[in-house]
Amino acid sequence: MEQQNISRPDWAWLCRDKRALLAFGFGAGLARKAPGTWGSLVGLLFAGLLLGCGVSHTGLFLLSVVLFWAGIGLCTHAGDALGKTDHSGIVWDEIVAMMMVYALIPQGFFWWLAGFGAFRLFDVLKPAPVAWAERRFRGGLGVMADDAVAALCAVLLLQLANCFI
């Protein structure tokens, strides 16, 4: 693969490189502050649109699994171009992880808000299972895996909470 050596990602690069456009969450990753949070909001939007258009929760989860595997290549490509495997602007992992969360948690405004917060908390704080995934896997798989584990931790927490509410 040809190294692009992009020193600073920008709209011009994203418009030239469609894989980078996807990896950067259609531009959400260009946010100067909290690009992961902006990418997570894109995931929330996609999940809401898909569920609102009649896609089942199972369908949303299966789509997120497919997008996870596609994301390995997208994140590897963008990381190689930038010379940094897990550049903060690469937010495809957050988008897909949020779709996983919303496919697997109870529905309703409270649950969606809690899902967003729980995922961001696990993604930022990186407790043991998330940190393990981040250390264990390299390249695009590593970028995607730690967010998938953070998503599953958020789902487990919310499903457990649902048992007591």
Q: pLDDT digits over 56-99, tens only?
A: 999 999 999 999 999 999 999 999 999 999 999 999 999 999 99
Distance between CA atoms of residues 60 and 57, nearest Å? 5
CA-based torsion, 126, 132, 136, 140: positive or negative: negative
Rounded CA gap, 49 and 6, in Å?
33
CA-CA distance, 93 to 112, in Å (whole number)? 18
Counting residues of the chain whose pLDDT is more than 70, the rounded percentage is: 98
Q: Is residue 33 packed enough to be buried (19+ CB in 10 Å), middle (13-18) or exposed (0-12)?
A: exposed
pLDDT of residue 121: 98
Contact partners, residue 106, CB within 8 Å, separation at least 6: 158, 159, 162
Among the listed residues 146, 110, 115, the one whose alpha carbon sits nearest the alpha carbon of residue 47? 115
> What are the tens digits of pLDDT across the range 142-161?
999 999 999 999 999 999 99
| Mean of per-residue pLDDT scores for the chain | 96
pLDDT in tens, 23-58: 999 999 999 999 999 999 999 999 999 999 999 999
Contact criterion met (CB below 8 Å) for 87 and 79: yes
Domain spans, the chain: 35-164
What does DSSP assign to residue 55? -
**pLDDT at residue 101 in the model:** 99
